[in-house]
Structures are given as C-alpha cells and as structure tokens.
Structure 1
Amino acid sequence: MEAHHVRFPVSGTSAAAASARQRLAGAIRAWGALLEPELLETAELVAAELITNAVRHAGKGPISAGARLSDARLLIEVTDTSPDVPQVGLPGADEEGGRGLFLVAALADRHGFDPMPAGKRCWAEFEVSDPVQTSRPLPLQRS
C-alpha cells in the first residue's frame, strides 16, 4: 500500500478548529479507496475530538494536525504548546463537554500523548486491515 501523509497548522479559534477537522477528514477521505467506510467515520470523529481539545485547552500557541496512513496503521496526531497532560474521564451527566478523550480511548486501537520540549503530541492509532479495493472488477456470474 502506498503511504499517505498530511500535516498543517491550525489557529486557536473555534472556526479554525472546524476548518481543520474538515480539512483532515477530507484528506483521509481522499485516501478512502484504501479504508473501510466504518474506519473512515471513526477516524474523522477521533480527529475532530483531538483538534477540538487542542484548540479548547491550548489555543494560544501553535497547533498542528496531521494523519499518516501506512500498510498497518492510520495515525492521527495533533501537537500543541500546552504542557498540560490530557485526562481521560467521564464528566457528570449534566455537563455538556468533557467526553472527547473518553471517545478517543473507546474508539482508537491505541492512543496517548508524548511530551515534547514545547508542549505535547496527542495521537490515536487505528489498525488497518486489508484495504478495500474499489477498482478491482467483480467476477462474472454464470447462469
């Protein structure tokens, strides 16, 4: 399978977060012939959560979002300049937010964060099964 990669900066506003989510989802969808539809939808949701968290909690410094697809995995990563460690947990039933990392933990095959000299990298990884081959002709049926 051909490797794919995309990375771009994200400014720290809600509008920029929405635009970045759409841009990253569009890049991943452009590789869609290689991925199962369910994996695409899950990866898009996880990307949206990681980007939103970075903008919400570390929006003052540089943020970047990216994805890499190789033979065995799809990796989604978001870097920011905040040293704050992300916490997975469930908020109270009355709270409107705070479920993002819980969703990431539930949906990704692996996830985590890596401290960096100026912030951190939050990531989620999905195992990629045999790619969907949309260009392969269907066998002829004989009557």
Structure 2
Amino acid sequence: MCTHNTPSLALSRQSLRHSLIRCGWDPKTVFNAELALMELIVNAWRHGGTACPVVFFSLLGSTLRVTVSDESDALPEQRKPGELAESGRGLQLVEGLTHRWGVDPQQKGKLVWFELDSAA
C-alpha cells in the first residue's frame, strides 16, 4: 500500500536523477528537475487528495517531460503568498525551475507536468 511518505518521494527523485545523469545532463539541470518533481508530488499529496501519485517521466530528444497524476479535478492555481507565509510557492518554484509546465484535466483527476530542455 502506498501512502505519502519520504521513501516514495526519495525513490522517484533517485530514479529521475540516475536517468538524467546516465544521459549526460548537467548537475544544475538534474537538481532543478528533482526539485520540481518534489513540488509536484507534494502538491498531489496536499491538494490532489492522492496518497500515491503516479509519476511518469520521459526523454524525447533533449527534452525531459515529467508528469504527476492526482485524483482531484480542481486545477492548480499559482498563489501569491505573503513574505512570511510558510507555503504557497510550489508552482512559482516549478515555473522558475523549468522551461514549461501545465495541467491536463482527465476524466478523473488531472496530470500536472513540466518540461526541461537539456543543457548538455
């Protein structure tokens, strides 16, 4: 049974990191991909009502696409948290770390994705 916990997050990060390193991606881009992935997974737990989000990633030429599914039909919105707010910056972070991101509504839930282009 999958629950939202650190091991599932760590395994997703590790799998992504190893794949990108094997393909010769530079360390900064790998770090950005890992951090953006963590944000999407945490958002799926917190806001998507999904204890075990499904994570897909693919390399198409020099572009990485990472997709995280959740069970909520509510579309994510970027918030403008105050300076002292402890949360609410996840999508801003994803936007700043990646080249593109978006949401694809599904019959049940949605797919939130980002793309990064290789600097290698």
* Fold agreement, TM-score > 0.5: yes
Partner of 2:12: 24
Partner of 1:71: 61
Residue by residue over 1:8-60, the C-alpha shift from the partner in whole angstroms, topping out at 9 and shown as x without a partner, is xx9453x1xx2232112111222213211111000000000000000011235
> Tell me, what secondary structure is at the counterpart of 1:43?
helix
After TM superposition, the runs of 4+ consecutive aligned structure 1 residues lying more than 2 A away are: 10-13, 18-21, 59-63
Partner of 1:119: 109
Cα distance in 2 between the residues matched to 1:37 and 1:53:
24
Cα distance in 1 between the residues matched to 2:17 and 2:50:
29
Specify which of 54, 59, 83 is matched with residue 49 of structure 2: 59
Which AA in structure 1 matches 2:7? S
TM-score after normalising by structure 2: 0.88
Partner of 1:102: 92
> Tell me, what secondary structure is at the counterpart of 1:84?
coil
Of stretches 94-103 and 26-35 in structure 1, the one that deviates more from structure 2 is 26-35
Label 1:76 to 1:28 Cα distance change in 2 as closer, same or farther (>3 A). same
Cα distance in 1 between the residues matched to 2:17 and 2:97:
18
Root mean square deviation of aligned Cα? 1.8
TM-score after normalising by structure 1: 0.75
Q: Flag the structure with larger Rg.
A: 1
Which AA in structure 1 matches 2:45? V
Gapped runs of 5+ residues in structure 1? Answer: 1-9, 131-143
Q: Does 1:33 align with 2:26?
A: no
Which AA in structure 2 matches 1:33? R
Cα distance in 1 between the residues matched to 2:50 and 2:62:
35
Report the identity percentage.
31
